[in-house]
Amino acid sequence: MPRQIERQGPSSPNTFGNLSVPGTRAGAIVSLGLVVIAWLVIPLARPFILGTAGLGLLIGLILWWKHNN
């Protein structure tokens, strides 16, 4: 009888497929590299990348402003 192999899902919420992206400077470099690759290879993703970067910048600035006041 063949053994059944259980497939494991993502081990943590910070995984990208099988690539673990930690919340460190090295993880930021990996994430930036993935964005650059997506920008160059997938032209349809460009509006999404710009929108998420703009929205992230806006929310980050609002949170930074609230934290400092």
Q: Domains of the chain: which residue ranges?
A: 43-69
Does the predicted model carry a pTM greater than 0.85? Answer: no
pLDDT confidence of residue 67: 94
The band of 6, judged by pLDDT with boundaries at 50, 70 and 90, is: low
**pLDDT of 8:** 54
pLDDT at position 14 is 57
Tell me, what's the pLDDT at 59?
A: 97
What's 4-51 look like in SS3?
Answer: CCCCCCCCCCCEECCEECCCCHHHHHHHHHHHHHHHHHCHHHHHHHHH
DSSP one-letter code for 7: P
Q: What is the pLDDT of residues 21-30, one digit of tens each?
A: 777 888 889 8
Tell me, what's the pLDDT at 17?
A: 64
By the 8 A CB rule, do 49 and 35 touch? yes
